[in-house]
Amino acid sequence: MLKLKQYLEKHRITHAAFAEIVGVSQATVNRYVSGERSPSKKMILKIKEATKGFVKVTDWYEQMDRAA
């Protein structure tokens, strides 16, 4: 997920630190960033909140549409 990667890089937040913020493992954040895994609807909302809206709900669905 490019938007999440951009947010983390811009704010110099490690995958491990972001994982703690949203309550998942670092490996899970790695998978979200790489696009290997998509988060649940509940997690999408947590990520939106944690990034102060930088990563929008629609960003995830646009990514899923492109992958299909």
Domains in the chain: boundaries: 2-67
CATH hierarchy code of domain 2-67: 1.10.260
Tell me, what's the pLDDT at 66?
65
What band does 64 get if pLDDT is binned at 50, 70 and 90?
A: low
Reported as a single tens digit per residue, the pLDDT across 4-52 is 999 999 999 999 999 999 999 999 999 999 989 989 999 999 999 999 9
Is the pLDDT confidence value at 67 over 80? Answer: no
Tell me, what's the pLDDT at 1?
83
For the entire predicted model, the pTM comes to: 0.86
Query: CA 52: distance to chain centroid?
Result: 12
C-alpha to C-alpha distance for 49 and 29, rounded to whole angstroms? 15
